[in-house]
Structures are given as structure tokens and as C-alpha cells.
Structure 1
Amino acid sequence: MAWVYLLVAGLLEIVWASAMKQSHGFTRAVPTAIMVVTMLGSFSLLALAMRTLPLGTAYMIWTGIGAIGAFMIGIWLFGEQTSLMRICAAALIASGMILMKMSGE
């Protein structure tokens, strides 16, 4: 169950990061509220996952999901630049997450 908590926490991290971008420096109420609620949910689920998963594994997977997800949302929704080097950087993050999971607990 810890891995499910961690996956959902990572997905919520993508939502709150995207909402933070949409809040325009916390000047727009709805995106700011979405950011706060999803941030609290993400942190809470991360804490639940850390009850059984090692700190390093849980935190690395959580931030990796958020980083890669925010990278993809930035490209797809916000028209951010894509380049071979940026894609390779995201692939390195993903490969690190895979290696961390494969290394066991």
C-alpha cells in the first residue's frame, strides 16, 4: 500500500506544481487554493508511505514523479521548450527512479 500512497503523492505533486504556476505568484485564488489542498494531500500521503518505505527511496521517487510530471505538463500545457538535452535529463531522472526501485529496500 505504501507504493500506492507514494504514486498518488507524486501525482498530487504534479498538480500542485502546475497550480502554483497558474496562481501567478499567489495572486489568483482558485489555483492557489488547488495548490494548497493538493500540497497538503501530497505531503500527507508521502508521510504515510514513509511509515514503511526508506526515507531516501520514498523522497527520491516522490520528487522524481513530480519533476518528470511537471516537465511534461510544462511542455504540453504551457508550451515550454523541448530539446534533446531536456529530454535526456528527464530520462536520467526516470532511470534513477527505476534503479532506486530495483535496488530493493
Structure 2
Amino acid sequence: MSFKRISIDEAEQLISQRAAQLADIRDEQSFQLGHIAGASHLDNHNLQQFIEAADPDQPLVIYCYHGNSSQSAAQFFVEKDFTEVYSMDGGFEAWRQRYPQQSGQE
């Protein structure tokens, strides 16, 4: 089994329709400056905690800056037995341009 690559529009639909889990793997400062509402910031310090708390059967959308690093992260979650994992092509930069109203701080 492997992850699926999805566009930012597909990701937005998945998030709004199915309450997908969101994982932001950018650095902490970038996350603080702006992220998709409801996203969890993941790094080496909280990764295991996220895995233990997350629902492995609920869709998981992973994003980074431009959609490259999120692919290896998505594969990692597949290997951790998450059943529906997506890597968002274009990353947060594309999301921010397409959905500026949904790209703020919480």
C-alpha cells in the first residue's frame, strides 16, 4: 500500500467533506507564521505522540513547503499502518495562494 498525491483543491475538498487529519511538517517558525486551520505541526519531538493519538483509519493529509518532503513523510505514515494517506502537491505555498482566507494563524 502507498500514499496518494493530491492537488490542493482535492485536499481542500477532503478536509471540508471528511474532516481529514492535517499534518504540517514545515519548521516551527513557518508553522507559527501561517498554516492550514486545524493542522498539527509535526517534528521529531511530537511525532510519536501524534501517531499514538491519531486515528489511523481517518484520512491524513500531509503537507510541507512545496509538496516534496511530504511524499516521504506520507510513505512513513503508510508504513505505520495509516490506511488513507495523502501528500498535498504544491505544499503550503500553493495552498496559501489558492486559499488565502484559510491560511492564517490560529
TM range (shorter): under 0.3
The structure with higher relative contact order (CA 8 Å, sep 6+) is 2
Q: Which has the higher helix share?
A: 1
Q: Which has the larger radius of gyration?
A: 1
Relative to the length of structure 1, the TM-score reads 0.26
Q: Which has the higher strand share?
A: 2
